């Protein structure tokens, strides 16, 4: 993979949303990319992230204006899965709480990704979530996400479910959604 921005000759830059403790950042940095912004609301994850990278991520992305986010080449976001996962939906419904986009705390965070993609127009993005995202609400949730990314925002979008057991000792299937502002031939590894 070419890790240099063809326009500037510098490393590709990325923003790390819903950063957790920085696992995705680690992968992008190992590939030669440079993190210019990170956001994570959980204070314990923030502390670990700071210990890992000598910088604290900013907090709740819903409270951070797009103007406070530097321009970047790639947006990376592993947005919360609780509103879409089988166990999360089951738990919420057993407690008579809303799931999916109707969950007022975690369910609407995809639309923060939309806002930042719209306002910052990065060249590419990588989103990650549970594989059940594809089938949540009889597939309607995923259709909204794909329509938003492709039709509203103009990205060429690709997706694939990948099992982490190919790379780490755990059986964890996740969906990865990749988009490019300009169409590029793309195949998942």
- The structure's pTM equals 0.91
Q: What is the mean pLDDT of residues 130-134?
A: 94
* Confidence band of 185 (pLDDT split at 50, 70, 90): confident
Asked if residue 122 has pLDDT above 70, the reply is yes
Q: Could you say which of 74, 81, 109, 124 is catalytic?
A: 81
CATH of domain 13-180: 3.40.50.150
Q: Where are the domains of the chain?
A: 13-180
Asked if residue 6 has pLDDT above 60, the reply is no
Nearest CA-CA partner of 104 in 86, 126, 80: 80
35 counts as catalytic: no
What is d(CA 139, CA 176) in angstroms, rounded to the nearest whole number?
A: 16
């Amino acid at each position: 993979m070419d890790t240099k921005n063809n326009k500037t000759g510098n490393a590709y830059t990325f923003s790390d949303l819903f950063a957790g403790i920085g696992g995705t950042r680690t992968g992008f940095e190992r590939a030669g990319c440079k993190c210019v912004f990170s956001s994570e609301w959980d204070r314990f994850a923030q502390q670990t992230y700071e210990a890992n990278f000598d910088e604290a991520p900013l907090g709740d992305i819903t409270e951070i204006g797009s103007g406070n986010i530097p321009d970047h080449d790639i947006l990376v976001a592993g947005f919360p899965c609780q509103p879409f996962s089988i166990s999360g939906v089951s738990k919420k419904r057993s407690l008579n709480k809303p799931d999916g986009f109707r969950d007022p705390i975690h369910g609407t965070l995809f639309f923060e990704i939309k806002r930042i993609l719209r306002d910052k127009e990065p060249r590419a993005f990588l989103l990650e979530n549970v594989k059940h995202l594809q089938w949540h609400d009889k597939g309607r949730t995923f259709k909204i996400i794909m329509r938003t990314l492709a039709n509203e925002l103009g990205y060429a979008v690709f997706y694939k479910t990948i099992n982490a057991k190919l790379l780490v000792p755990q059986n964890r299937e996740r969906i990865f959604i990749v988009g490019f502002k300009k169409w590029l031939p793309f195949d998942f590894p």
